[in-house]
Amino acid sequence: MQPQDRALYPGSFDPVTNGHLDIIRRAARVFDGLCVAVFTHPSKRPLFSVEERLGMLQAAVQDIPGVRVAAGTGLVVEYAQAIGARAVVRGVRGTVGLDEEVPTALMNRRLSEAVDTVFFLAAPDWLGLSSSLVKELAGYRASLAGLVPPGVEAMLIAKLNQL
Ligand code: ADP
């Protein structure tokens, strides 16, 4: 039986990286049920469709107990409440990363004090890793070995070859 969602990890995951996966594993140890939800920011133009990002995430989390993957809609706090989650998980890459996350966390708190944002500090290996950097590297056909879950590199190359 799927455990109840205790926490929501929202993001673009365009594409999922080993940095995201590390946060997912660690958050799943702290919260009994974790929903990883793909959101599309109105201001961002993603490389991958929501379905493609869901597929990559699903493959990456299949062995992690208590984790499910979903397509998020609307406001993150409202979505969190709708699925019964009391915590929104975000990963922070050092103090600069925290500065970037604070306005959203404060706004979410204004919208609902019933949902708390919980920050997980990026592991040293993944501090400098981002989806944008991975896409930039892939653009030069540089190896992504050790940076993304299996299958993601091939999907990136296939997608970039289509452009
Ligand atoms: P968003 O566009 O919502 O920031 P991302 O997919 O870029 O979506 O990131 C989702 C969350 O994962 C954010 O909280 C981000 O800070 C965090 N994150 C991204 N890359 C890493 C990483 N290498 N290590 C830890 N956390 C990360």
**Whether 131 is catalytic:** yes
Minimum CA distance residue for ligand 1 atom 27: 91
pLDDT in tens, 52-103: 999 999 999 999 999 999 999 999 999 999 999 999 999 999 999 999 999 9
The model's pLDDT over 100-158, given as tens digits with 9 standing for 90+, comes to 999 999 999 999 999 999 999 999 999 999 999 999 999 999 999 999 999 999 999 99
The residue whose CA is least distant from atom 7 of ligand 1 is 12
Which one is catalytic: 29, 41, 44, 141?
44
- Residues whose CB is less than 8 angstroms from the CB of residue 156 and which lie 6 or more positions away in sequence, other chains included: 15, 47, 134, 135, 138, 144, 148
Active-site residue, 41 included: no
Question: pTM for this one?
Answer: 0.96
86 flagged as catalytic: no
pLDDT at 6 over 70: yes
Q: What is the pLDDT of residue 1?
A: 60
Residue found by looking up tokens 């469709």 in the block: 49
